[in-house]
Chain A
Amino acid sequence: MSSIDEIALRYRLQRADFSLDVALQLPLSGITGIFGASGSGKTTLLRCIAGLEAAPGSELVVTGECWQDATFSKPPHERQIGYVFQEPRLFKHLDVRTNIEYGMRRSLGRDTPAFEKVIALLGIEALLERKPAKLSGGEAQRVAIARALLRAPRFVLMDEPLASLDAARKNEILPYLERLHAESSIPIIYVSHNIDEICCLCDHLVVLDQGRVAASGELQSVLVRMDLPQVMGDAAGSILDGRIANFDAKYSLSLLTFAGGELWLPGRLGNIGDRYRLRIRANDVSLSRTRPQDTTVLNLLDVVIEAVQDAPPAAQLIRVLAGQQRLVARITRRSRENLNLQPGDRVVAQVKAVAVSRPNFGE
């Protein structure tokens, strides 16, 4: 197989209540999201890549190097990966510093990231002498991330690292992950059933459905695919990358421009000129034949309908093009028939701008 920076894998395994059958090429760059409902095989796939799951007859090739084939399976400790589990799994008999050093001392990697830099990136300088029992859930998870990064792994596997945390703790950690994405070159494979996290962090996306690969590719191109309404469910939507162009202090609204239009968003999102990524849920986009004059929706975009797809039982997904930017709208089948919407039609999209939004790094 090829020796380019990618993970090529084929896993086929059968458990009592579950089967996994996937063949994938994952790029070893940026953050690759693995999305799917619980029970879709995300965690099992990650454990397979780490060597924690016996999967005879499978194949795993990392940058041209065989980690697993029919006769051989590299043991987990030789795989030179970082693994961040759902729970922090810090060793309770060691303090934070020795927990982190545990992986560093056993690292095979040569280009170890600078200790101080990672510690500062994750904001855990003040915690180093503490025992894990004295950390909050969010702190412990940040330590676990630092521990995985500092062993100089080829890549890091993250298994829903935010799932065990409440909403406030999640929002505490997400910015650290974003900084990580921006400032570190270590590739990450990020498993989540939360599409907001995926949209905020990832560059590539794999969608798993009942142990099979439903889609795999660049994030936006997978998001706007029309053949996955059942799998994506309420997660249907798109992302939009733009720049902050203005801030209206009177109403506290930021203006985001992108190739194909502009959107007003509540709050001060950043400095003028900053890149910014929005997730626009299909449920937050509605379509209209004429430009409504008396709507409370702030954002109206002139768009062209590209494709229409049934989303049983009652809805339809409609993909529209605003300049270069693709959006997905979810409307009822009845509305679509009433308006007789067809591919090629010019319509107006109303976008509720309360969708999840995150600063976008990666420049």
Chain B
Amino acid sequence: MNLGPLWLSVQLATITMLLLLVISTPLGWWLARTRSRVRPVVQAIVALPIVLPPTVMGFYLLILLGPAGAIGEWWLRLTGHSLTFSFSGLVIASCVYSLPFAVQPIMSAFEAVEQRDLEAAWTLGADRRDAFFSIALPQSMRGYLNAAVLSFAHTLGEFGVVLMVGGNIPGETRVISIAIYDQVESLQYAAAHQLAAILLVFAFAVLLAMFALNRHWRQQ
């Protein structure tokens, strides 16, 4: 059995998840705390990938990341490589595609952090940055767990965007969903079954672990 696509998917999902946790921290904090009138605009943009068909997302990303696109051209000059049909391009596309699944839980967790706890921290000698890392962040761990699991799982299940931006290059962009599609197309049902079953069990286990952990934390 060729496990390459599975391994590639796990790599992609892990890197995307980690990047998204970092990106979503300032973004989620800003969304949770700001009174700015731009907030709904930013929220709508972040939520777009939930609504748009992956092909539409993928189409725009293909243009943007392509050698003539704003990001693609810059990347080409910087590294000499094209972003489209590459693993790096997939990571960027996945980050956009899974962004709402990381931002939403983190933002909700930050919204639950009470202003009065932060005030108490300031009067105890913590500056704003210190209070964020010592109070807001640890109190939001449940949100981070949910964000990690959801963005990881969502990236793992990605298909349309990958097909548009990454194509089907073994070891580079042929992730598990593409491989399964390929195998079904060429009537290799046995191989498709194996990969599909692995994905099914894995997805179920991850979600089960998340809900169990959530339940445990709620009871604490």
Contacts and interface: CB of A to CB of B under 8 A. Distances in A.
A144 to B, nearest CB: 8
A80 B126 CA distance: 11
Nearest to A89: B120
Interface stretch (B4-12, B69-77, B97-105, B131-139): B131-139
A187 interface: no
B211 interface: no
B80 interface: no
Given A85-B120, A89-B120, A91-B117, A77 B135 contact: no
Please indicate which of the listed interface residues A92, A108, A147 has the most CB atoms of chain B within 10 Å of its own CB. A92
Please indicate which of the listed interface residues B117, B124, B135 has the most CB atoms of chain A within 10 Å of its own CB. B124
Please indicate which of the listed interface residues A77, A82, A103 has the most CB atoms of chain B within 10 Å of its own CB. A77
Contacts of B182: none
B123 A102 contact: no
Interface string B92-128: 0000000000000000000000001101111111110
B120 A83 contact: yes
Contacts of A92: 139
A288 interface: no
B69 to A, nearest CB: 44
B120 A77 contact: no
Contacts of B135: 91, 93
Nearest to A131: B220
Nearest to A100: B124
Interface in A62-106: 75-77, 79-83, 85, 87, 89, 91-93, 102-103, 106
A107 interface: yes
A289 B127 CA distance: 65
Contact of A81 (B117, B121, B123): B123
Contact of A108 (B123, B125, B130, B134): B125
Interface residues of A, number: 25
Contacts of A297: none
Contacts of B124: 77, 102-103, 106, 147-148, 151
A106 B130 contact: yes
A140 to B, nearest CB: 12
Contacts of B122: 51-52, 75-77
A50 interface: yes
A92 B117 CA distance: 9
A165 to B, nearest CB: 17
Nearest to B139: A93
Given A89-B116, A89-B117, A89-B120, A106 B126 contact: yes
A168 B143 CA distance: 39
A75 B138 CA distance: 24
Contacts of A85: 116, 119-120
Interface of A: 50-52, 75-77, 79-83, 85, 87, 89, 91-93, 102-103, 106-108, 147-148, 151
Given A52-B119, A87-B116, A151-B125, 15 more contacts: A50-B123, A51-B122, A75-B122, A76-B122, A77-B126, A77-B127, A81-B123, A89-B116, A89-B117, A91-B121, A92-B139, A103-B124, A106-B126, A106-B130, A147-B124
